[in-house]
Amino acid sequence: MQDIFWLMRKIFIETFRSKKNIILYLFFPLFGIAIAFIAFGQTHSQSLAVGIVNEDPGKITDETIDYLHTKTGIDVQALKRDKISEALTSGNVDAVITIEKGFAEGILRQHPGHITVVSIKGNSVTAMLKATLYQYMDNLVALSTAANGDAEQFTMMYEQYKQTEFGMQTTEMGDLSRQFNMTQTAIGFLIMIMMISASNLSEIILKEKQERTYYRLLASPITTKTYITANLLVNMIVMIIQFLLTLLILTGVFHINLGIPFWEICLVMLLFSIISVGLSLVIITFANSRSAVGALKNLIIIPTTMLSGCFWPYEIMPKVAQRIAEFLPQRWILKTLTQMQEGSAIENLYMNFLVLFAFALAFFLIAAYRFSRNNSTKNFI
Amino acid sequence: MHLQKCVSFFILKMIRLCMKRVESVNILEIQDLTKKFGDFIAVDHMSLSVAEGEIFGFLGSNGAGKSTTIHMITGLLRKNKGTIIVLGKNSEKSATFIKRNIGMVPQELAIYEDLTAYENVHFFAGLYGMRGKKLHERTVEALKFVGLEGKEKIYPRNFSGGMKRRLNIACAIAHRPKLIIMDEPTVGIDPQSRKYILDSVRKLNAMGCTIIYTSHYMEEVEEICTRIAIIDHGKIIAEGTKEQLKSLITDSKLIVVDVKSPEAVDLAAIQAIQGVSNVQLDDQTIQIHTELGVNNLNHLIAHFIQNGIEIRSLDEREPNLETVFLTLTGRNLRDA
């Protein structure tokens, strides 16, 4: 154990002597918070821009759209189907509601549907819009039920319903979706930094091999296991500091409601740290040189992080990309955090945790196998 | 009768004890050591022993198997066959004990550029279990020994090649090993640093360390080693003191001819002269190995005159290690 501490001490001194590394490992993860503030920091005072694609023109549909116009905080604008992606990606609208053919018919037949909601701002926005719409649609369905599906009777009852006066007291609720989105954006960025940090720290093993200090170490009473363990522990400590620092600043300084108990989010991120270390070891066992590590890092970490929805909502990605994302650990981390924010209890997410453990196990087994093979033949002659 | 048995038993015990003492004099014993990389046999059934207090020279061309042997002794490589006994302990059973008592000076610099000279030695010495005041004292002592006192806080990237080599040595000796293995410790350094290192080797030896020294520089080995082994194709082809090795080739002599236009020399034609066993062109000089007892000097001189090659000087030399190596392996060590 003393040997492990001795090696860890050396790695810490060597790594954190460089100011560049201090910035990279300790301050860079905090950029995610800045990005989250840029993306979501001011949206609470602005309305949600919603594009409506109306493919079922008619009285019921028009009334539904008018209803949305009456809602405070929602700016509705008409949109054509072929302009959906452009409007979303350009930021002209935050969400798009598509009212498909058969919407009015569905209401009258008491089978509501034919409506889709997509948003660049994630689940919380689509959920809010759906809740607003479904509440209105439920009322229409109730009227249709009372009118026995008779269109004329329904129209008459609907006109009366509109003219009814209600005494209503409005209380503004805190908008947690914004805070949840900020947390997700900050965590998305943190995930990428953690993976890069893990690879950089594991790269030290390769650096030592190239600079031959690794062989001097192994000529001393230090074993390969001791050396790798020390490197893993340093890697884990750095990543724990990274996510703790980010989460503490989010909650302590910016008073962001994470929507998840602190220890639960720490548990998920700890699991992700283990996965990152495992993946970083796999990368270095497949690379013959440090430049190869750099290339593999660029080839693996950044594309998979983008594909997992760390930088934009998973929902707006094409279906093929969404299917690929299901095989990536970053996606499962974000999925778990989203489900926790939506109120799922940690014990109900055992499948997510099993998948994450499986990722960690697979990476460590591959790395162990590759290490054992690498060590059997070295360029010693 | 009973007394006779007791005396016999006592004598037998004493003989065994003496034998054990004789055995323990050898700090390293290698028997039938073999290492293969696929089909390539890097070390081929090698056996050798190094006595305590020796400076043992290990000579061989690139790929001869020196470094592979050294890496097996230090536990960096697994052997395929044979036994390695260091300080009376088997390498398989007492790997940690052996590693604790060996100091390894690798051929390539193995130091951290991001740690100061002091931190480098301090860290490597700490791997051998030392801590606190003792570790500090040993670190300072090692740096002083290699002449780097006052340079403790300097980063190796600011050192000259020779200073880096000396730091490389300091990292291997701070824990005071009984056996120090130096793999080409003087490669690519200035004559002053080389002299410093060679003097350090002698001093370490005088302090009781046994040293295994490999080098391409024949004159270094000749100068400091008490015993030498020549290794070729993974096998020891000759072993002994330098005098013993030189005596192996008493049947040949070396004639060194310094000529004005070496490009005009036809080596094949010289090789064809009676008694010539080997000819080599080394810059301006031609090294001609000829059989002892064959008087071919006139023929050699005539060859140069007939071909219009001006002779600046001609010298007949005693055999040295270079000659021994060339005779035994058919190759010049530095060109090999």
CA distance B236 to B69: 11
Query: B71–A218: do the CB atoms touch at under 8 Å?
Result: no
Query: What's the pLDDT score for residue B156?
Result: 92
In tens, the pLDDT along B25-52 reads: 789 999 999 999 888 888 999 999 999 9
Rounded to an integer, the average pLDDT of B104-122 is 91
Q: Residue window 7-66, chain A: list those with CB within 8 Å of chain B.
A: 10, 13-14, 17-18
Q: Is the pLDDT of residue A307 over 80?
A: yes
Q: How confident is the model at residue A361 (pLDDT cuts 50, 70, 90)?
A: very high
Rounded to an integer, the average pLDDT of A136-161 is 81
Query: What's the pLDDT score for residue A377?
Result: 40
CA distance A349 to A39: 29
Query: B108–A212: do the CB atoms touch at under 8 Å?
Result: yes
Helix axes A290-307, A176-210, angle to 10 degrees: 160
Give the whole-number percent of chain A exceeding pLDDT 90: 14
Which stretch of B30-44, B136-150, B306-320 has the lowest confidence by average pLDDT? B306-320
Q: How confident is the model at residue B21 (pLDDT cuts 50, 70, 90)?
A: very low
What are the residues whose beta carbons fall under 8 Å from the beta carbon of B181, sequence distance 6 or more?
A: B70, B73, B74, B102, B103, B104, B105, B211, B212
- Minimal CA–CA distance to A341: which of A180, A191, A182? A180
Q: How confident is the model at residue A1 (pLDDT cuts 50, 70, 90)?
A: confident
What's the maximum distance between 2 C-alpha atoms anywhere in chain B? 90
Which stretch of A220-224, A273-277, B120-124 has the lowest confidence by average pLDDT? A220-224
Query: What's the pLDDT score for residue B167?
Result: 93
CA distance B130 to A197: 32
Q: Phi then psi for B192, rounded to 5 degrees?
A: -65, -45
Query: What's the pLDDT score for residue A95?
Result: 86
Alpha-carbon distance A378 to nearest alpha carbon in chain B (angstroms):
8
Rounded to an integer, the average pLDDT of A8-14 is 92
Query: What's the pLDDT score for residue B143?
Result: 93
What mean pLDDT is reported for chain B? Answer: 84
ipTM of the complex: 0.73
Tokens 């943190």 locate to A190
Query: A217–B42: do the CB atoms touch at under 8 Å?
Result: no
Residue of B nearest to A380 (CA): B68
Is B216 in CB contact (< 8 Å) with chain A? no
Instruction: From chain A, pick out residues whose CB is under 8 angstroms from the CB of B127.
Output: 3, 6, 217, 220-222
B/e letters for A146-166, b = 16+ CB within 10 Å, e = fewer, are ebeeeeeebeebbeeeeeeee
Instruction: From chain B, pick out residues whose CB is under 8 angstroms from the CB of A230.
Output: none
- Minimal CA–CA distance to B333: which of B194, B218, B212, B168? B218
Instruction: From chain B, pick out residues whose CB is under 8 angstroms from the CB of A217.
Output: 127
Which stretch of A204-213, B80-89, B110-119 has the lowest confidence by average pLDDT? A204-213
The answer to whether A283 touches A293, Cβ cutoff 8 Å, is yes
Q: Which residue did the predictor score with more confidence, A373 or A306?
A: A306
In tens, the pLDDT along B45-67 reads: 999 999 999 999 988 887 888 88
What mean pLDDT is reported for chain A? Answer: 82
DSSP tag of A47:
P
Query: What's the pLDDT score for residue B331?
Result: 64
Query: B68–A13: do the CB atoms touch at under 8 Å?
Result: no
Q: Is the pLDDT of residue A173 over 60?
A: no
User: Of B78-82, B118-122, B192-196, B253-257, which has the strongest mean pLDDT?
Assistant: B118-122
Q: Which residue did the predictor score with more confidence, A63 or B333?
A: A63
With residue B214 as reference, give the H or E element that holds it: strand B210-214
Rounded to an integer, the average pLDDT of B146-158 is 90
Q: Tell me whether strands B81-86 and B26-37 are parallel, antiparallel or unpaired.
A: antiparallel
In tens, the pLDDT along B281-310 reads: 877 788 888 887 788 888 888 888 888 888
Q: Which residue did the predictor score with more confidence, A161 or B312?
A: B312
Partner residue facing B75 (CB), from A3, A219, A380: A219
Q: Tell me whether strands A48-54 and A74-78 are parallel, antiparallel or unpaired.
A: parallel
Tell me if the pTM is above 0.95.
no
CA distance B190 to B187: 9
Alpha-carbon distance B173 to nearest alpha carbon in chain A (angstroms):
12
Instruction: From chain B, pick out residues whose CB is under 8 angstroms from the CB of A2.
Output: 129
Query: What's the pLDDT score for residue A362?
Result: 94
Torsion (CA) A260, A263, A266, A271 in degrees, nearest 10: -100
- Minimal CA–CA distance to B215: which of B64, B81, B88, B76? B64
Give the whole-number percent of chain A exceeding pLDDT 70: 91
DSSP bridge pairs for B181: B104, B212
Partner residue facing A3 (CB), from B76, B100, B127: B127
Partner residue facing A220 (CB), from B42, B113, B128: B128
Partner residue facing B106 (CB), from A14, A216, A381: A216
B/e letters for A68-93, b = 16+ CB within 10 Å, e = fewer, are beebeebebeebeeeebeebbeeeeb
CA distance A232 to A235: 5
Instruction: From chain B, pick out residues whose CB is under 8 angstroms from the CB of A378.
Output: 76-77
DSSP tag of A173:
P
Is A3 in CB contact (< 8 Å) with chain B? yes
B105 backbone φψ class: left, alpha, beta (φ>0; ψ -120 to 50):
beta
Q: Is the pLDDT of residue A216 over 70?
A: yes
Interface-testing mutation among A4, A216, A217, A224, with chain B (most B C-beta atoms within 10 A): A216
Instruction: From chain A, pick out residues whose CB is under 8 angstroms from the CB of B112.
Output: 10, 14, 211, 213
Is B243 in CB contact (< 8 Å) with chain A? no
CA distance A133 to A341: 22
Rounded to an integer, the average pLDDT of A160-182 is 65
The answer to whether B253 touches B276, Cβ cutoff 8 Å, is no
Token pair, residue B309, equals 């090659």
Query: B112–A216: do the CB atoms touch at under 8 Å?
Result: no
Query: B100–A221: do the CB atoms touch at under 8 Å?
Result: yes
CA distance A368 to B119: 31
Query: What's the pLDDT score for residue B210?
Result: 93
Partner residue facing B112 (CB), from A14, A222, A378: A14
Q: How confident is the model at residue A376 (pLDDT cuts 50, 70, 90)?
A: very low
Query: What's the pLDDT score for residue B31?
Result: 92
DSSP tag of A25:
I
Q: How confident is the model at residue A40 (pLDDT cuts 50, 70, 90)?
A: low
Q: Is the pLDDT of residue A338 over 80?
A: yes
In tens, the pLDDT along B174-184 reads: 999 999 999 88
Instruction: From chain A, pick out residues whose CB is under 8 angstroms from the CB of B113.
Output: 211
